[in-house]
Amino acid sequence: MQKAEQSLETVLSQDDQTRLLPENVRESIPDSIINSRFLKLEAKRNKMDIFEKCYDLSDVDFAKKAGIYGFYRKCQGFDGSNVVYEGKSIIMTASNNYLGLASDPRVIEASVEATRKFGTSCTGSRFLNGNLEIHEELEGELAAFVGKQAAIVLSTGFLANQAAIESIAGPKDNIFSDSENHASIISGCSLSKANVIRYDHNNMNHLQQKVGELASSDKSIIISDGVFSMGGDIVDLPAMVKAAQRPGLKRVPIMIDDAHGLGVIGKGGRGTASHFKMDDDVDLIVGTFSKSLASLGGFIAGDAELIAYIKHKARSLLFTAGLPAGQTAAALQALRIMKREPERIERLQMTARKVRAAFKSMGLNTLNSQTPIIPILIGEEGLSCRIAQELFSLGVFATPVIFPGVPYGQSIIRTSFMTTHTDAQIDQVINIFGDLTKRYGLDKVRANRDMDAAHGARLHAQGKPRKAYTWTKGIGVKNYAIAGTKALVKKQIMKLAYKI
C-alpha cells in the first residue's frame, strides 16, 4: 500500500498534472487512492466535463487549510439554547428557534402522537393521496391567526415561496423584488419566468421610481421579506404601500415572506403586517414552520380564491409529498402555545434589545437590526470565518455569512437569539464578544469595510473580476489592503495572515 502511494506521488509529480496515468501504473494502485486523488485530477484535466468545477472548490479548500471552515458542523445534542458539538456544550446563537419551542415537551409529544396516528410519511402529494385532516386544521388556525381568509400548507417555507410565485406570476408579468430577498424568492422568480425588477434593499423611493415606469396595462407584484433574514431589519411596509400606488389604477399587490416575522413581531407574533397595523395592505403572506413554529414546512395565506388557485396550479405543491403528520402537529402545537404564552415573545424582544444595546456600546456595527437577528458587520470574508471559529472555541455558536448570502464585501457574523436563552448565557455571549472586539479591533471594522465594499464595487463596475481586502490587526496584518485577481489575493492571504 505504502509503495503504491509513493509510486502514485511520483507519477503525479512527474506527470505535472497534464497527462493521465498510464494503464499499467493505474492497475497497481489501490482503489481507495485512485478514487480520491487520481480521479480528482483526471476530472480536472478534462475541461469538457460538467463536473470539473466540483473538483476545484478552492474557496472551501482555502478555508479548510486556513483552519477557518465552520460549516456543516456535526450537532450531537440539543436542548434549545445549548447544543453539543465535539463533545462539549456550547451556547447556540445561530438558530431560528426564536420561541425555544423546538425542544418543548408539549410540541414533541404532539408530534409523536400524530406520527403514531398517521405514520411517518404522507407517501404522496396532498393533491392526490397525501392530504391529512391535520393539514387542514393547521391551515384554518394559521389563516385566522394572520387575518386572512385561507391558507395552504406546503412541505417547506422554500417551497411555499416558490409555489406562490411560480403560480401567480408568468412570463408576461413583472415582479418587484428587494435586492436582499431570500433565495427561495429568487428561485420562485426564476421559475415563474416573469420580468424581475430588483430594487435597492428596503429603498422605497427606488421602488416607487420603478413602479412609475410601468405601463398601465402591466401586471405586477411586489415581493419582499418582512424581516430580512441576514440584516434583521424590517421592511418599510408603510412606504412600500405608498410606492405601490399608481394614479388612476389599482395599487400593485404585495406579497410578504414573513419567515422571520411570525412569532417575533406584531401583535402576539402575528408578523410584519400586524407590526405596522396594516393587515389589509398585504395580499399574500408566506410563512415557514422552521423558525418560531418549531417544525418543518411552510404556508401561504391570502384570499380564498388566491389560495384555491395556488392549490391547483403550483408545481412545488402538486408534485411533492405532503408535510408529514409529525411535523404538521408540531407546528400546530407551537402555534397554539405561541397564542397562549405571549410572554415568550416579550422576553425574546427584551433579550434582543439588551444584546443589541451591548453590541452597539462596544462599537460593533449591527446594521439596521430591529429584531432578534443581530448581525455584526465584519466585511472581509476570511475574518468573519475566523471570528466564528474563535467564538466556537470559546463556547458560542454563531455563523459567518459571506457573499452571496450578503452583498459583496459585507460579510457578517449573524447572531440570533431565543426566548429560552438565560440571562447568564446572554451575559456570557456579550462578554465573549467584548473580548473579541478588543482583540480583533472589530469596533473599527466599519470604515475598513466601507472601503472594501466601495473598492470592490468600483472594480466590478469596471468589469474587472477582482477582490479587495482590508485587514484588521486580529489576523496579523494591520490595515493592509490587497487587490488583485482572486487567486493572487488568496495566495497573499495564505502567506501574510495564516502563514500557509
Ligand X SMILES: Cc1ncc(COP(=O)(O)O)c(C=O)c1O
List 151, 259, 385, 391, residue binding ligand X (CB under 6 A): 259
298 is an interface residue for ligand X by CB under 6 A: yes
Decide whether 147 or 405 has the Cβ nearer to ligand X.
405
Rounded Cα gap, residues 458 and 455, in angstroms: 5
Examine residue 157 and tell whether it contacts ligand X (CB under 6 A).
yes
- What residues are paired with 142 via a beta bridge? none
Nearer residue to ligand X within complex by CB, 104 or 257: 257
Residue span 214-253 as binding mask against ligand X, x where in contact by CB under 6 A, dash where not: -----------x---x------------------------
Are 406 and 397 a contacting pair, CB within 8 Å? no
Q: How far apart are the C-alpha atoms of 86 and 76, rounded to whole Å?
A: 8
User: Does residue 184 touch ligand X according to CB under 6 A?
Assistant: yes
- Between CA 142 and CA 152 the distance in angstroms is 9
Alpha helices in 130-181 (DSSP H): 133-146, 157-168
Q: Please, what is the minimum distance in Å from the beta carbon of residue 254 to ligand X? A: 16
Which of 69, 98, 145, 158: binder of ligand X (CB under 6 A)?
Answer: 158
Pairing of strands 174-178, 396-397: unpaired
257 sits near ligand X (criterion: CB under 6 A):
yes
Q: Figure out which of the listed residues 126, 182, 449, 455 binds ligand X, where binding follows CB under 6 A.
A: 182
Interface with ligand X includes 414 (CB under 6 A)? no
Q: Does 288 help bind ligand X (rule: CB under 6 A)?
A: yes
Min CB(319)–ligand X separation in Å = 17
What does DSSP assign to residue 178?
E
Q: Which residue lies nearer to ligand X by CB, 194 or 223?
A: 223
Binding flag, residue 166, ligand X (CB under 6 A)? no
Looking at the Cβ atoms of 299 and 469, the one nearer to ligand X is 299
Per-residue string for binding with ligand X, 76-105, x by CB under 6 A?
------------------------------
Q: In this complex, which beta carbon is closest to ligand X, that of residue 75 or of residue 304? A: 75
Closest distance of CB 97 from ligand X, Å: 12
Q: How far is the CB of 248 from ligand X (least distance, A)?
A: 34
Strands (E), 46-194: 75-78, 82-85, 88-92, 150-154, 174-178
Q: How far is CA 362 from the centre of its chain?
A: 26
Alpha-carbon distance 268 to 349, whole Å? 12
CB 292 within 8 A of CB 262: yes
**Nearest CB to ligand X, comparing residues 8 and 259:** 259
For residue 484, what are the contacts with CB-CB under 8 A and spacing of at least 6?
466, 467, 492
- How far is residue 151 from each of residues 138, 145, 301, 322, 336, measured CA to CA in Å? 9, 10, 4, 15, 16
Residues that bind ligand X (CB under 6 A): 156-158, 161, 182, 184, 225, 229, 257, 259-260, 288, 290, 298
